[in-house]
Structure 1
Amino acid sequence: MKLKKELPLIGIVLLPFLYLAYVWNQLPAEVPLHYNIKGEVDRYGDKSELIMIPILLPLLIYVILSVVPYIDPKKQIQKMGNKYHDLKLILTLFMSALALFIIHATKSGSLGNPNIIFMIVGALYVVLGNYFKTIKANYFIGIRTPWTLESESIWKATHKLGGKIWFVGGLLAIICSLILDAKLNFMVFMGITVVIALIPVIYSFLLYRKEQKAAG
């Protein structure tokens, strides 16, 4: 791991910690810690619990993505080179932005428009969809089913289809977040997420069955 290359990522990880430290004295002893789908507070707790937000979001993701290439038994992730570094940057940046948003919402005492979160996640789906086709077969990231891990051709075909579906699903999530109310948008967003997660899994199974029949 080259420190010079990692410094921008480390800076991104630290941003929520620094922001939390900056607003710490402005926070009351008890702060809102959970919101319902309407953006209303439904649980309060001690402000010390807020430290878990930057730990569980940007820091944890950064650590996991930094370690994975070294424990990948197939060494496929390392072959992705800069593509993997870009993916790690995007995911770390997303988690840091999400942590900042949550801390700011806690400070202001209101989540504001909950659709903003779904819009951000939709944008992440779009970006990940573009990266799916570059992910080499491995045990840690990507659409890891028993059938994609069994066959490199199934892995490639599944990720090619999955990339398109995630891209379209992300765009739909963004559009719906702009036009629907929070409650309806939550249900639509969950539906989109389930669909884009399930279709590639089913597709990989069908491809496996097709290969088995062809081999038999």
Structure 2
Amino acid sequence: MKKLNKIMLALSILPTLLTSVFLFFMNDTVPMHYNASGAVDRYGSKYENFILPAIILFMYAFYMVYTKIYTKYSTNSVEKINNNVKITAILVTSIIAAFNILQLMFLILAILKPDSTTFTDNVPFIINTVMGLMLIIAGNFLPKTKRNSFIGVKTSWTQSSDLAWYESNRAGGIAFVVTGVLTIIESSFIKGINSTIIMVTILLISIAVAYIYAYVKVKKSA
């Protein structure tokens, strides 16, 4: 855990350091937001590139504080607590690593294409591919969580028993993995904002099916 926390800390600080260096090569004003069609609809100060690094640092700080509270006040066994904290650390580290990739992409675009009026099709592809990988990672670890109020699929009925928890998080994990794989595949063929719309649609449908499946199975076994 100590090694993983050190990696997480390094990845949390890295975007701020990279952004500080990249600012020297940027125009004072750069594209900051794109509409649904991919056209730039707002320009802003180059210093706004610190927003995502600030969010990453906040995520790290929130994780550290919340895990300390969870570890101190949870009524679960030490084994379950350590298991859930470790899985959370892996997931948060994966998310922060993904944000590092996105931040680097945004910084490179701000330098190479400061006067661009639209983003290229490669931008949604990279974003969706990273999102797909994050979903696959999350889906693989979700079923390994133990019943708790800290991480996982948490509803009144998933908390009713260990079986209900396992079935729900297993179904949720499968939904995430399926969505992640389909997102990576469809992003290779469908360009622009349509790719993102399809990703969100697949995710919502997969989660809905997973919830219904888990609920029915748990009720039948009750």
TM range (shorter): 0.7 to 0.9
Paired with 2:197 and 2:88, the residues of 1 have a C-alpha distance of: 32
Paired with 1:89 and 1:8, the residues of 2 have a C-alpha distance of: 8
Paired with 2:202 and 2:75, the residues of 1 have a C-alpha distance of: 32
TM-score normalised by length of structure 1: 0.84
Query: Among residues 87, 94, 98, which one is paired with 2:91 in the alignment?
Result: 87
Paired with 1:67 and 1:204, the residues of 2 have a C-alpha distance of: 32
Paired with 1:85 and 1:190, the residues of 2 have a C-alpha distance of: 25
Could you say which residue in structure 2 is the equivalent of 1:201? 211
Could you say which residue in structure 1 is the equivalent of 2:146? 136
The alpha carbon displacement at 1:207 in A equals 4.4
Any residues of structure 2 matched to 1:99-118 within 5 Å, and which? 99-109=103-113, 111-112=119-120, 113=122, 114-118=124-128
Residues 147/137 of structure 1: CA separation in 2 closer, same or farther (3 Å cut): same
Could you say which residue in structure 1 is the equivalent of 2:5? 6
The alpha carbon displacement at 1:83 in A equals 3.9
Paired with 1:38 and 1:103, the residues of 2 have a C-alpha distance of: 21
Paired with 1:134 and 1:159, the residues of 2 have a C-alpha distance of: 8
Residues 192/77 of structure 1: CA separation in 2 closer, same or farther (3 Å cut): farther
- The answer as to whether partners of 1:27 and 1:107 remain within 8 angstroms in 2 is yes
The amino acid across from 1:43 in the alignment is R
Q: Does 1:183 align with 2:193?
A: yes
- The answer as to whether partners of 1:122 and 1:170 remain within 8 angstroms in 2 is yes
Q: How many residues align?
A: 210
- The answer as to whether partners of 1:143 and 1:201 remain within 8 angstroms in 2 is no
TM-score normalised by length of structure 2: 0.82
Could you say which residue in structure 2 is the equivalent of 1:166? 176
RMSD: 2.4
Residues 92/77 of structure 1: CA separation in 2 closer, same or farther (3 Å cut): farther
5+ residue gaps in structure 1?
none
5+ residue gaps in structure 2?
none
Query: Among residues 49, 55, 63, which one is paired with 2:61 in the alignment?
Result: 63
The alpha carbon displacement at 1:195 in A equals 1.7
Could you say which residue in structure 1 is the equivalent of 2:35? 36
- The answer as to whether partners of 1:61 and 1:91 remain within 8 angstroms in 2 is no
